[in-house]
C-alpha cells in the first residue's frame, strides 16, 4: 500500500511538472516569435487614438460578425499603458490560455489524482501550437478571452453544488464572453449542457435559458447582417455539401496534416476523414452520457466542451465554409477545435473502460483516440515551430513596411499591413492616415525612434532585417552611392538574394558580376501587376518581385549602363 501511494505521488508530481514545463514552453514560443507591430485587424483599434474617443458606440462597433465590447475596453487600456505594444496583447492571451489550462486541471483534479499519467496529453492539447496564429497575433486575444469565459462558466456550473450565487457568477462571466465575439454566445448552450446533468434544479435551467436568450437578443439588437460578411441563406443551402465537407475538414484540422510537410499525409481527404472520425467519436460520447443518466461533474464538463466545439464548427458555415470547404484549415480555428479532442479524450480517460481488460472490440477506438492525440501533439508542435518562424519573418517585414509607410507601395502595404489596400485605394489612404496617427502619438514601433530610423535607412526588405550586402561591381559603386534610393535598391536586391537559396544556386557568380541577376530583378518586378498584388494581398509572405518592383527602373538603369 505504501509503495502504491509513493508511486501515485511520483506520477502526480510528474504530471504537474509537465504542466509547468508546457506553460513555460508556450511562453518561450511567444518570446521567440512574437513581434511588436500593428497588423491587419489590429488597425481597427486606431479609432481609439482619435480625439473624443473611445465612445460607447465605438466600443460596441461591429467587426465582421463580432461585437467585441469587452476586448475593445481591454484594448484601450493596453494601448495607452504600453504605447500599443502588440506583445502585451500576446502575453495577455498566453496568460489567459494558461488560466484555461489551470481551470481544466481544477475541473478534472479528482480524476487526475487517480491516474495522473493518463492526463499528460491535456496540457499539450490546451497549449497546442496548432493555434499559432492566435498566439502570435495581438487582435486574436479576444478569442482566448472568449475561451476562458466559456471554460470558467462551464467549470462553475459543473461543481457538485450549484446555487443562485454560483449561477449568477457563471452568467456574469458568460456575458463577458458573449460580448467579446460571436463565438462567446456558445457559452449559453455549453452551460445548459452541464445544467442538464442529473441533480440540477429545473429552476436553474430556466433562469440560465432566459438569461442566455436575453443576452443573445442584446447581441443582435443593433446587428448588421450585411456587414457580417456572411453568405445569404440561399447561397448556404445551394452550397450545403461544400459546407458540410468544410465542417469535417475544420474538425480534422486540429491535426495539421496538410501543412506538416509530410507528403504521405498531406491530402485534405485525410483531414476530412479524420474530422469525420473525431465528430463520430464526439457524438458517441454525447450519446453515452445521455444513456448513462447525464452524469454531473467532470463528464458533463467534457460533453460541454464537445458541444461548444461542434457549434463553433457550425457557426463557420455562413461566413466561411459555404464559400470554401478548405477555409476551416486555418490555424485560428484550432483554438475552438482542440476542446473537441480534449473533451473526447478526457471523457474516455474518466470512464472505467480505459482501465479494464483490452479484450474484444473496445481496444480499437481507444488505440485510434490515443493515436489521434499523439499525432496532434507531434504535428502541431512541428508545424507551430515552422510557422512561428515564418510568422516572425512576416511581422518583421510588416514593421519595416510600417516604418516606411509614407513610401510603401500597395505591393507590400496590402499583404503586410492591411488588405484590401491593393484593390481599394481608399483603404490605402486610410492606412496612411492611421500610420500617421501612430507616428504622431509614438505608438507601436514609433515608440522606438532609433528602430524606425534604422528601418527607413535600409528600406523595405523581405524579412525586415538587414542582410549581408552583395559584392558591388566597381563600375556600379558611384551609381549605388549616389542616392539613398539607390542604396536601398541594392539592400533589397541583396536581401532577396541571400534569403532565396534557389536564387543563389541560379546565380552563383553574382558577387563578381550582377548583370544577369539585375535582368532577373527587372523581369521579376515586371511580373507584379495590379491583379497579382490583389491575388496575393491576403497571403504573406509574398514573392520576391513584390519587393523589387519599386526599384525596377533603377535596376534597368544599371543594366543599361553596362557597368554591372
- pLDDT tens string, the chain, 564 residues long: the values are 554 455 578 899 999 999 999 999 999 999 999 999 999 999 999 999 999 999 999 999 999 999 999 999 999 999 999 999 999 999 999 999 999 999 999 999 999 999 999 999 999 999 999 999 999 999 999 999 999 999 999 999 999 889 999 999 999 999 999 999 999 999 999 999 999 999 999 999 999 999 999 999 999 999 998 888 888 889 999 999 999 999 999 999 999 999 988 888 999 999 999 999 999 999 999 999 999 999 999 999 999 999 999 999 999 999 899 999 999 999 999 999 999 999 999 999 997 654 544 455 566 778 889 999 999 999 999 999 999 999 999 999 999 999 999 999 999 999 999 999 999 999 999 999 999 999 999 999 999 999 999 999 999 999 999 888 888 888 889 999 889 899 999 999 999 999 888 888 888 866 556 888 999 999 999 999 999 999 999 999 999 999 999 999 999 999 988 877
Q: How many CB atoms lie within 10 A of CB 248?
A: 23
SS3 74: helix
SS3 63: strand
Alpha carbons 251 and 266: distance in angstroms, whole number: 16
Inter-helix orientation angle 240-252/334-350, to 10°: 60
Q: Measure CA of the first residue to CA of the last residue in the chain; give whole Å.
A: 83
What is the helix (H) or strand (E) element at residue 501, kind and residue range? helix 501-506
Selection from 274, 528, 273, 231 nearest residue 376 by Cα: 274
DSSP 213-272: HHHHHHHHTT--STTTTPPPHHHHHHTHHHHHHHHHHHHHTTS-GGGSS-GGG--HHHHH
Selection from 277, 295, 274 nearest residue 286 by Cα: 295
Amino acid at each position: 500500500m505504501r509503495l502504491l501511494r509513493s508511486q501515485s505521488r511520483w506520477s502526480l508530481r510528474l504530471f504537474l511538472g509537465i504542466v509547468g514545463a508546457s506553460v513555460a514552453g508556450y511562453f518561450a514560443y511567444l518570446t521567440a516569435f512574437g513581434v511588436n507591430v500593428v497588423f491587419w485587424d489590429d488597425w481597427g483599434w486606431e479609432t481609439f487614438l482619435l480625439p473624443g474617443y473611445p465612445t460607447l458606440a465605438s466600443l460596441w462597433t461591429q467587426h465582421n460578425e463580432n461585437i467585441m465590447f469587452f476586448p475593445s475596453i481591454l484594448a484601450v487600456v493596453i494601448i495607452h499603458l504600453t504605447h500599443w505594444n502588440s506583445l502585451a496583447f500576446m502575453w495577455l492571451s498566453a496568460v489567459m490560455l494558461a488560466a484555461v489550462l489551470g481551470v481544466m486541471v481544477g475541473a478534472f483534479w479528482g480524476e487526475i489524482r487517480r491516474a495522473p499519467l493518463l492526463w499528460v496529453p491535456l496540457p499539450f492539447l490546451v497549449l497546442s501550437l496548432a493555434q499559432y496564429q492566435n498566439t502570435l497575433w495581438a487582435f486574436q486575444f479576444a478569442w482566448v478571452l472568449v475561451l476562458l469565459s466559456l471554460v470558467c462558466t462551464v467549470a462553475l456550473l459543473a461543481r457538485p453544488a450549484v446555487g443562485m450565487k454560483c449561477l449568477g457568477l457563471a452568467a456574469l462571466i458568460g456575458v463577458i464572453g458573449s460580448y467579446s465575439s460571436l463565438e462567446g454566445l456558445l457559452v449559453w448552450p455549453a452551460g445548459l449542457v452541464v445544467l442538464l446533468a442529473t441533480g440540477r434544479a429545473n429552476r436553474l435551467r430556466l433562469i440560465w435559458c432566459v438569461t442566455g436568450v436575453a443576452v443573445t437578443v442584446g447581441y443582435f439588437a443593433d446587428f448588421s447582417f450585411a456587414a457580417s460578411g456572411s453568405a445569404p441563406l440561399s447561397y448556404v443551402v445551394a452550397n450545403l455539401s461544400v459546407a458540410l465537407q468544410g465542417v469535417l475538414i475544420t474538425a480534422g484540422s486540429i491535426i495539421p496534416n496538410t501543412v506538416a510537410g509530410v507528403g504521405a499525409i498531406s491530402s485534405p481527404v485525410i483531414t476530412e476523414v479524420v474530422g469525420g472520425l473525431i465528430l463520430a467519436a464526439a457524438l458517441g460520447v454525447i450519446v453515452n452520457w445521455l444513456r448513462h443518466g447525464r452524469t454531473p461533474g467532470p463528464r458533463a464538463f467534457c460533453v460541454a466542451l464537445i458541444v461548444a466545439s461542434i457549434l463553433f464548427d457550425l457557426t463557420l458555415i455562413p461566413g466561411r465554409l459555404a464559400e470554401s470547404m478548405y477555409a476551416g484549415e486555418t490555424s485560428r480555428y484550432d483554438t475552438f477545435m482542440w476542446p473537441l479532442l480534449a473533451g473526447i479524450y478526457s471523457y474516455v480517460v474518466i470512464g472505467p473502460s480505459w482501465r479494464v481488460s483490452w479484450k474484444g472490440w473496445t481496444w480499437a477506438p481507444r488505440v485510434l483516440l490515443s493515436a489521434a492525440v499523439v499525432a496532434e501533439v507531434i504535428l502541431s508542435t512541428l508545424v507551430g515551430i515552422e510557422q512561428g518562424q515564418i510568422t516572425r519573418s512576416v511581422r518583421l517585414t510588416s514593421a519595416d513596411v510600417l516604418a516606411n509607410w509614407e513610401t510603401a507601395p500597395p505591393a507590400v502595404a496590402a499583404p503586410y499591413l492591411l488588405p484590401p489596400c491593393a484593390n481599394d485605394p481608399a483603404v490605402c489612404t486610410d492606412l496612411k492616415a492611421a500610420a500617421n496617427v501612430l507616428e504622431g502619438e509614438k505608438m507601436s514601433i514609433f515608440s522606438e525612434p532609433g528602430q524606425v530610423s534604422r528601418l527607413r535607412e535600409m528600406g523595405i526588405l523581405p524579412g525586415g532585417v538587414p542582410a549581408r550586402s552583395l559584392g558591388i561591381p566597381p563600375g556600379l559603386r558611384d551609381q549605388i552611392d549616389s542616392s539613398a534610393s539607390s542604396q536601398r535598391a541594392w539592400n533589397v536586391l541583396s536581401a532577396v538574394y541571400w534569403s532565396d537559396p534557389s536564387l543563389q544556386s541560379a546565380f552563383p557568380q553574382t558577387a563578381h558580376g550582377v548583370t544577369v541577376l539585375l535582368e532577373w530583378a527587372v523581369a521579376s518586378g515586371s511580373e507584379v501587376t495590379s491583379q497579382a498584388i490583389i491575388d496575393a494581398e491576403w497571403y504573406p509572405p509574398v514573392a520576391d518581385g513584390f519587393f523589387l518592383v519599386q526599384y525596377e527602373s533603377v535596376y534597368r538603369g544599371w543594366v543599361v549602363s553596362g557597368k554591372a
